[in-house]
Amino acid sequence: MTETNDTVTEAELKQQFDDLYMHIFKYIGDFVSIPTQKYNLTFEAFMVMDNVAHSKNGQTLVELAKLEGVSKSAIARQVNVLLKENYVMQKVDPKDRRVKYITLTAAGSRVQRNLSQATDERFHRWLTFFGGKEEGERFIKVLNQANERAIEAGFVGFDSLHDKRRNSNRSSH
């Protein structure tokens, strides 16, 4: 990677950014998704499973959307995949039949545990490759600053730059 300094032009900086996108950022999604592929899931669907797994009584679509910082319809798409794979089920709230709680099935619990371990191991390998905890912290700090600026500008985050809906809950996770 080329180091930046005060004499770098904006055009050169853009070229460096474009190169990084083509060689690193573009593949981060692929990198984190590799463990989920054998279960017919995306990393996003796994994150929904993980949120459900860490809830005591399950999560509603609205709660999951708030946790993930995305729309209810985006969460519904992920939940539909999880339902199709029999990793989650919906339980109707006995006090309000309009409310459905998403909970893991036994198969979903096994998959979530396996994927949690696999993604933890993959992250550890990435962190080691990246140069250790301090380098990882610096990288994450820069990405968090970019995300915070995107949110301040009215965007949910980089995954929704086209969508100007605000969601202040996303920045607190």
Residue 118: which of 18, 50, 51 has the closest Cα?
50
**Structurally, how many domains does the chain consist of?**
2
Beta-carbon contacts of residue 173 (< 8 Å; ≥ 6 apart): 67, 69
The reply to whether 29 falls in a domain is no
Q: Which pLDDT value is given to residue 6?
A: 66
User: Is the domain of 86 the same as that of 68?
Assistant: yes
Beta-carbon contacts of residue 171 (< 8 Å; ≥ 6 apart): 147, 148, 151
Q: Which pLDDT value is given to residue 48?
A: 95
Quick check: helix, strand or coil at residue 89? strand
Dig out the tokens for 36 from the structure: 């989920």
Instruction: Tell me the residue range of the domain where 67 lies.
Output: 37-130
Residue 41: which of 79, 13, 96, 76 has the closest Cα?
79
User: Is the domain of 98 the same as that of 169?
Assistant: no
User: Going along the chain, which residue ranges are E strands?
Assistant: 88-93, 96-104
d(Cα 52, Cα 99) in Å, to the nearest integer?
A: 15
> Alpha carbon 170 to chain centroid distance?
11
The reply to whether 28 falls in a domain is no
Q: Which residues of 59-92 are buried (b: 16+ CB within 10 A; e: fewer)?
A: bbbebbbbbbbbbeebbeebbebbbebebbeeee
CA angle, 66 then 151 then 157, to 5°: 65
Query: Which residue positions in the chain have pLDDT lower than 70?
Result: 1-6, 156-173
For position 97, which CATH number holds? Answer: 1.10.10.10
User: Is the domain of 149 the same as that of 110?
Assistant: no
Dig out the tokens for 56 from the structure: 């005591």
Q: Write out pLDDT tens, residues 117-146.
A: 999 999 998 899 889 999 999 989 998 998
Length reported for the chain:
173
The reply to whether 13 falls in a domain is no
